[in-house]
């Protein structure tokens, strides 16, 4: 019995010794791998490690790989991930994230993609395919980021060009004297004169003059003397030329049920003149920077270019932006003159009726229709009325 007991004790001691030796060898191998990595005997990548014990911070260190594992090595913390269970992901910070189900409390990060080309990663089929997919994802993210940067830059450049274009147009418009506008209006009138039949009707002309004088009396710093020309044409229409010339058809009087509608149309046309929309249209079409170059080098050439734009005044409609501006300004002119501002909206509703629109399409003055009625314009005018401060006690127009 004593011999058996001694034998058992001997075997037990031997097993304990083996476990101790095995633990020592494992520790020694880890120490050797660390020393080799730190000495630069294996490719190393700068990285960071996170563990719950670190709180919110990360530990800086180096990452090395061998045939079996990925190792994070630093002076204060070390961890190893088996390549058999290694997980690689793209982190929202743009770094690569390494983890393992065997070390759930650890996460290792590395910047760049060089580690994905490591020999020990590419020799394993699973990791090689995963690395390829990660590179594809990161490339897609870079492409989206570059596209976003390009779009932001393009938007910035476009905004700058738009701002400078607007500034250039405003500058050039201010440099054009009213006398030039009158010459331009004369040229434009000659372009359309053969299509017009002037009417000498003292009563209608007096009504137009009274409405125009009432509206222009509330304009600050008015530089224009408005000329009113009545045209024999059944289609309700009105056209403003630069310099203050306004053409009004007899059809406008026939279509209007009350003088406020005629006043609304006149206010819109007066706004086109005051805001110098005809000049803006010519300069915008010709190119503001081209026109500015001509203005700087040759003022006579600038006058010639502006005067040569008379055909644009006749054949090209105002932009939606200029129409909106004329509607807004005309509305305020009517309010300042104490005239019911709903007249223009009432007139546009009539003009949008099918019968009138079909007739207008066949009219020789269709080319002069610089402000076709639209649902959008009507909705905007209705919105202005909705927010108007005054809605009663307007002047009674004769």
Domain with 90, as residue range(s), is: 37-139
Residue 99 has pLDDT above 50, yes or no: yes
3-state secondary structure of 239: strand
Question: Would 153 be classed as within a structural domain?
Answer: no
Q: What is the mean pLDDT of residues 51-63?
A: 86
Residue 25 has pLDDT above 50, yes or no: no
Please tell me the distance from the alpha carbon of residue 212 to that of residue 203, in angstroms, as a whole number: 14
Question: Would 171 be classed as within a structural domain?
Answer: no
3-state secondary structure of 74: coil
Question: Would 169 be classed as within a structural domain?
Answer: no
102-106, 141-145, 350-354: lowest mean pLDDT where? 350-354
pLDDT, residue 328, reads 95
Please tell me the distance from the alpha carbon of residue 59 to that of residue 74, in angstroms, as a whole number: 8
Q: Which two three-digit tokens encode residue 372?
A: 């076709």
> Do 291 and 340 belong together in one domain?
yes
> Do 124 and 58 belong together in one domain?
yes
| Total count of domains within the chain | 2
Q: Name the nearest CA neighbour of 322 among 368, 278, 362.
A: 278
Q: CB of 242 within 8 A of CB of 184?
A: yes
Rg (CA), the chain: 42
Residues in the chain: 398
Task: Write out pLDDT tens, residues 275-290.
Answer: 998 888 877 776 654 4
Question: Would 226 be classed as within a structural domain?
Answer: yes
> Do 213 and 353 belong together in one domain?
yes
Question: Would 158 be classed as within a structural domain?
Answer: no
Question: Would 314 be classed as within a structural domain?
Answer: yes
Question: Would 32 be classed as within a structural domain?
Answer: no
> Do 198 and 338 belong together in one domain?
yes
Q: Beta strands of 74-193 (E only): which ranges?
A: 78-82, 87-90, 96-99, 106-110
Q: Which two three-digit tokens encode residue 157?
A: 């450049």
> Which letter, b or e, does each residue of 284-306 get, where b requires 16 or more Cβ atoms within 10 Å of its Cβ?
bebebeebbebbeeeeeebbebb
CA dihedral 353, 359, 365, 369 (to 10 degrees): 20
> Do 333 and 207 belong together in one domain?
yes
> Do 64 and 194 belong together in one domain?
no
DSSP assignment, residue 41? Answer: S
Q: Beta strands of 6-43 (E only): which ranges?
A: none
Q: CB of 387 within 8 A of CB of 335?
A: no
pLDDT, residue 247, reads 93
Mind giving me the DSSP string for 374-395? Answer: -HHHHHHHHHHHHT-S--S---
pLDDT, residue 174, reads 81
Question: Would 97 be classed as within a structural domain?
Answer: yes
């Amino acid at each position: 019995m004593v011999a058996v007991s001694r034998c058992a004790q001997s075997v037990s001691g031997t097993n304990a010794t083996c476990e101790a030796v095995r633990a020592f060898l494992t520790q020694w191998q880890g120490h050797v791998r660390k020393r080799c990595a730190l000495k630069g005997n294996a490719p190393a990548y700068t990285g960071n490690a996170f563990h719950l014990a670190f709180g919110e911070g990360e530990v800086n260190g180096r990452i090395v790989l061998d045939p079996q594992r990925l190792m994070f090595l630093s002076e204060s913390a070390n961890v190893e991930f088996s390549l058999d269970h290694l997980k690689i992901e793209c982190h929202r910070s743009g770094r690569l994230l390494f983890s393992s189900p065997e070390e759930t409390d650890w996460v290792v990060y590395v910047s760049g993609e060089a580690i994905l080309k490591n020999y020990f990663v590419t020799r394993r089929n699973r990791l090689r395919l995963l690395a390829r997919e990660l590179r594809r994802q990161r490339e897609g993210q870079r492409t989206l980021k570059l596209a976003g940067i390009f779009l932001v830059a393009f938007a910035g450049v476009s905004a700058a060009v738009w701002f400078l274009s607007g500034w250039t147009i405003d500058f050039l418009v201010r440099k054009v004297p009213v006398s030039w506008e009158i010459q331009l209006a004369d040229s434009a009138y000659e372009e359309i004169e053969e299509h017009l039949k002037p009417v000498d009707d003292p009563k209608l002309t007096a009504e137009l003059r009274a409405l125009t004088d009432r509206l222009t009396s509330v304009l600050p710093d008015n530089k224009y003397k408005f000329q009113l020309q009545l045209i024999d044409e059944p289609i309700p229409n009105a056209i403003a030329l630069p310099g203050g010339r306004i053409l009004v058809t007899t059809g406008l009087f026939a279509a209007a049920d009350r003088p406020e509608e005629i006043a609304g149309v006149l206010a819109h046309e007066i706004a086109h003149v005051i805001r110098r929309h005809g000049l803006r249209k010519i300069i915008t079409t010709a190119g503001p920077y081209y026109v500015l170059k001509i203005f700087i080098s040759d003022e006579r050439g600038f006058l010639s270019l502006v005067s040569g734009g008379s055909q644009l005044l006749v054949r090209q409609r105002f932009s939606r932006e200029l129409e909106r501006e004329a509607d807004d300004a005309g509305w305020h002119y009517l309010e300042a003159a104490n005239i019911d501002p709903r007249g223009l909206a009432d007139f546009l509703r009539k003009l949008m009726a099918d019968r009138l629109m079909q007739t207008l399409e066949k009219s020789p003055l269709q080319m002069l229709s610089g402000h076709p009625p639209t649902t959008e314009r009507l909705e905007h005018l209705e919105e202005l009325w909705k927010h108007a401060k005054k809605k009663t006690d307007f002047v009674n127009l004769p």
